[in-house]
Amino acid sequence: MMMLMIAGSFVCSSAAFATYTPKAAAPEAAAKSGEKIVDAGNKHCPIEGELVSGKEFVTYKGVRYGLCCHGCNKTFLKNPEKYIAQMKATGEIK
């Protein structure tokens, strides 16, 4: 993950980005593709442990996981099973 300094504040960034899907548009996108996407319901980012933003998500095997920032998607997708197992072990998801 790369940190950029813009106007005196740090912004979470990444060289490779997953597709951004706003929360409201996600069901429509799934309906168009015929794929059913289920929301994991996690309240904390599996990477940083911060509260999810409600605007950043990553979808893996038909399940959408909330993230705290756009930069966390690359880390999650490098080893999604690891982060899913951690969320299950802590009770964050079922």
Report percent pLDDT > 70 for the chain: 65
Q: Strand, coil or helix: what is 4?
A: strand
Q: Are strands 38-39 and 63-67 parallel, antiparallel or unpaired?
A: parallel
Q: What is the pLDDT of residue 34?
A: 72
Q: Which of 30-34, 65-69, 75-79 has the lowest mean pLDDT?
A: 30-34
Label residues 27-42 b or e (16+ Cβ within 10 Å = b).
eeebeeeeeebeebeb
Q: Which of 14-18, 40-44, 64-68, 81-85 has the lowest mean pLDDT?
A: 14-18
Q: What is the pTM of this model?
A: 0.66
